[in-house]
Structure 1
Amino acid sequence: MSYRLSTRSRARLQGVHPALVAVVEAAILITPVDFMVTEGLRSPARQAALVRAGASRTLNSRHLTGHAVDVAALVEGRVRWDWPLYGRIAEAFRAAAAARGTPIVWGGDWPTLRDGPHFELDRKAFA
């Protein structure tokens, strides 16, 4: 099944690096699990609020420069946070990124504070 990005997801990609937008747009077409974009570019104030709330641990987020997005899995139109869903979405992101020669990092691969909904452009290739 092929999914499409909603108008709201597309709006949340405003200010995101074009290479990452292309990966998101390709991933939605091949993912086995539908997803929506929950956040892309963030202001420093929003990032600071997330740190204060414990939802982030850094003031140096890739979201601040438009180099990261967060997604939420959708099952039957409802947001789901079940960990296995994000591994399946990550496979689609990896395939889409590889097809475009765009190195990405999945937050689910981090050794600490694993973040399944988070995808970012690799710092080694995108400063």
Structure 2
Amino acid sequence: MGRVSLDTLLRRSEKNMGSGMNAIVKKSALELIRRAYKEGINAQISHGMRTYAQQNALYAQGRTKPGSKVTNARGGYSNHNFGLAVDYFLTSEDGSKAIWTVNSDWKRVAAIAKSLGFSWGGDWTSFKDYPHLEMTGGLSTAQLRAGKRPSLTDRTGTKKVAPSKTVSKPPSSSSGSSWVKAAQEWGNSRDYPDKAGFNELDEDGLTGPLTFDAFLRIYQYFGKTAIDGVWGPKSRAVAAVQNKDDHTPGWTRLLQATLCLYGYKHKIDGAFGPLTDEALRAFQRSKGIKADGTTGPVTYTKMFEAA
């Protein structure tokens, strides 16, 4: 079997972090997975947000319940309970097995994490917690329990925005999809990272949560609604009805680029021609919705709600 995809590691990590995470902690954790992957290391987040009850259940392990001790913190005394901490592990080449050995790769992931602003549990003196990473902004758990929240700095970095241009022909490459790369290149153009509030995408041809998040934010920018990267009623309400007979270039490019993420291959040129119409209908059929070649709330929901 080949190497597990970056997309798989990101999707697993995002799911394992759960809801309620601090936005910068979550973003930084996903960036950690990306940077480690580029260095040939498969890392994955195992835990993120925990309720007090979940924390107490872990605390009981090795004390009043079977198993080894995994934490010294009761509910309300762990930064996990406030969405400020994550745990990580390494995986086998194909991603099928978890690796918990604290080797050079494990420590390299910790070093990358620290460069992004995390503190590492492996540096603690009283209790070594090698999987643990956290950002507290200097606040104690007592302050967090009292309702205070840290002001954190995003250290994931924003690259220089690419000059404005229209993608006409995707670049060729031996890694990743050239069509996804073309879509990512479009997403980085026209100052969209600044306008829609996301870090410039890595043009790696790998479809993942960060690319879908960027495209959803561009959608929200086009629709003049709140740009938060969350699909909800407000985003659904601004869905532009587009088809080959009635369309605008900007919305059409977004449609074309998003279809590329789903494996449909065509130019991102703003022209709603036969190939775009055919790809849109094929996407609609694949999602079990009316294949009428017209975008709207239902089609965009299928594109972004579970992306």
TM-score of the alignment, normalized to the shorter chain, above 0.5? yes
Q: TM-score, normalised by structure 2?
A: 0.37
Structure 2 residue aligned with 1:90: 110
Match of 1:122 among 116, 136, 148: 136
Match of 1:37 among 45, 67, 87: 45
Cα deviation digits, residues 51-72 of structure 1 (max 9, x gap): 1102211110000000100111
Structure 2 residue aligned with 1:100: none
Structure 1 residue aligned with 2:11: 7
Query: RMSD across aligned C-alpha pairs, in angstroms?
Result: 2.1
Identify unmatched segments of 5+ residues in structure 2: 62-68, 140-149, 152-307
Deviation, structure 1 residue 120: 0.4
Q: TM-score, normalised by structure 1?
A: 0.83
After superposition, the Cα gap between the structure-2 partners of 1:29 and 1:22, relative to the gap in structure 1 and judged at 3 Å, is same
2 CA distance for matches of 1:44 and 1:8?
Answer: 23
Identify the structure with bigger relative contact order (alpha carbons < 8 Å, sequence gap 6+): 1
2 CA distance for matches of 1:112 and 1:39?
Answer: 22
Cα deviation digits, residues 16-53 of structure 1 (max 9, x gap): 11111121121112113211111100011111111110
Structure 1 residue aligned with 2:55: 47
Match of 2:121 among 107, 110, 114: 107
Aligned length: 121
Cα deviation digits, residues 64-83 of structure 1 (max 9, x gap): 00010011111212211111
Identify unmatched segments of 5+ residues in structure 1: 98-102
Deviation, structure 1 residue 123: 4.1
Deviation, structure 1 residue 3: 3.4
- Describe the SS at the equivalent of 1:12: helix
Deviation, structure 1 residue 6: 3.5
2 CA distance for matches of 1:80 and 1:29?
Answer: 18
* 4+ residue runs over 4 A deviation: none
- Describe the SS at the equivalent of 1:37: strand
- Describe the SS at the equivalent of 2:6: coil
Percent of matched pairs sharing the same residue: 27
Between Structure 1 and Structure 2, the one with more strand by share is 1
